[in-house]
Amino acid sequence: MPMICKIEKIIQETPDIRTYRLKFREEGMMEKFNWMPGQFVEFSLLGSGECTFCIASSVTRQGYFDCSIKRAGAVTADIHTSLEEGDEVGIRGPYGNWFPLDDLKGKNLLFVGGGIGLAPLRSLIQYCIDNRSDYKDFTILYGARTSADLCYKDEIKEWQENKSLKVVLTIDKPEDTWTSNVGVVPKILEEVVKPEIANTKVITCGPPIMIKYTILSLKKLGFADPDIITTLEMKMQCGLGKCGRCNIGSTYVCKDGPVFTNDQLKGLPDEF
């Protein structure tokens, strides 16, 4: 049974991505809602349907949580066209596993994101920024098709101004006013970021094709499989390990995932 949330704010991130800032309607519920970076919720636009979205903000930013939603299918189109600030939606969760926070402590962190794939990383990035002293070097590589398709533009500015973070942005094709990198994420990873391999954990998310080539690049650079962490996109409905939709082999992505290391991914049947 979903709990009712009120939309506090809608932020137009890109032409087809909006961030919905949510808060539970029931007094005191928001304080009880605890989640870890990487977990997801089932989001109901009642009458239209239920969709799976990662929580795009960190529990360390209290009083709300964000879902960044790209207009992609029927329900997300309804969400974009019919929901306004102040409207109510249903939320179930949080579900799924989370990024292995203990394994990340004391390491260099390299985040590699593409498009809407920055959303689950943002939850972890915020969490790590809010506990900055636990981690060493902190690099964010983020790319999108065009400069207009980059999410969280204001927040990226804050990250760029934060001297303890290194931020590398890239877009696929040149644009007149763009002064930063041009090229797909794996290329920039190898040619510009040139990450240190020792003591570094890489956390990546993006379109399936980007994840695939990013992992190939990381392997080429010399990263070990357990140091490559990704979060999988898979069709889900119940979030409870019942409906069967997210099965890959004997794994339930909704329970055993969505966060997997590359060595775990290698153990799954090659469905992607």
Partner 1 sequence: MSFSTFVTDKAGLQQFYASIVEKHETYAPVEKFGNFDFVRVTSLSECDPASPIERTRSIKPLFFPRSAKIMKYVATSAGTEVSETDEDPYAGMRVILGAKHCDARGLQVLDKVYNWDYIDTDYQKRRRNTVIVSARCDKAAAHCFCTSLDYNVENLDAMDVLVVNGPDGKIYLKARTEKGENLLKSDVARHATSVADEASAPALKQQYEAFASSFRLKMNYTEVNGKLSNIFDSPEFEKVSDHCVGCNTCAFVCPTCHCFKISDEKLKDTGVRYKSYDSCNNGYFTLMAGGHNPRPAKYRRWRQRALHKFVYYKERFGDNLCVGCGKCTVACPVNISIFEVANQVASTAM
Point out which residues bind partner 1 (CB under 8 A): 1-2, 4, 25, 44, 46-51, 70, 72-76, 88-90, 207-208, 233-235, 237-238, 240-245, 247-250, 255, 269-272
Q: CB nearer to partner 1: give 71 or 187.
A: 71
User: Residue type for 45, please?
Assistant: L
Residues in the chain: 272
Q: CB nearer to partner 1: give 81 or 177.
A: 81
Smallest separation (angstroms) from partner 1 to the CB of 83: 12
Beta bridge partners of 112: 141, 204
Task: Please report the beta strands in 96-130, taking only residues with DSSP state E, as ranges in sequence order.
Answer: 108-114
Q: CB nearer to partner 1: give 146 or 164.
A: 146
Smallest separation (angstroms) from partner 1 to the CB of 80: 12
The angle formed by the CA atoms of residues 193, 194 and 197, to the nearest 5 degrees, is: 120
Q: CB nearer to partner 1: give 15 or 73.
A: 73
Tell me the backbone φ, ψ of residue 182, rounded to 5 degrees.
Answer: -130, 130
Q: CB nearer to partner 1: give 149 or 233.
A: 233
Q: CB nearer to partner 1: give 87 or 225.
A: 87
Smallest separation (angstroms) from partner 1 to the CB of 102: 22
| CA dihedral over 36, 40, 41, 45, signed as positive or negative | positive
Q: CB nearer to partner 1: give 73 or 226.
A: 73
Q: Are 269 and 248 in contact (CB under 8 A)?
A: yes
DSSP state of 36: -
The reply to whether omega before 94 is within 30° of 0 (cis) is yes
Smallest separation (angstroms) from partner 1 to the CB of 99: 20
Q: Are 117 and 149 in contact (CB under 8 A)?
A: no
The angle formed by the CA atoms of residues 156, 184 and 154, to the nearest 5 degrees, is: 10
Smallest separation (angstroms) from partner 1 to the CB of 73: 3
Q: Provide CB contacts within 8 A for 167, sequence distance 6+.
A: 139, 140, 142, 156, 159, 160
Smallest separation (angstroms) from partner 1 to the CB of 126: 25
Smallest separation (angstroms) from partner 1 to the CB of 242: 6
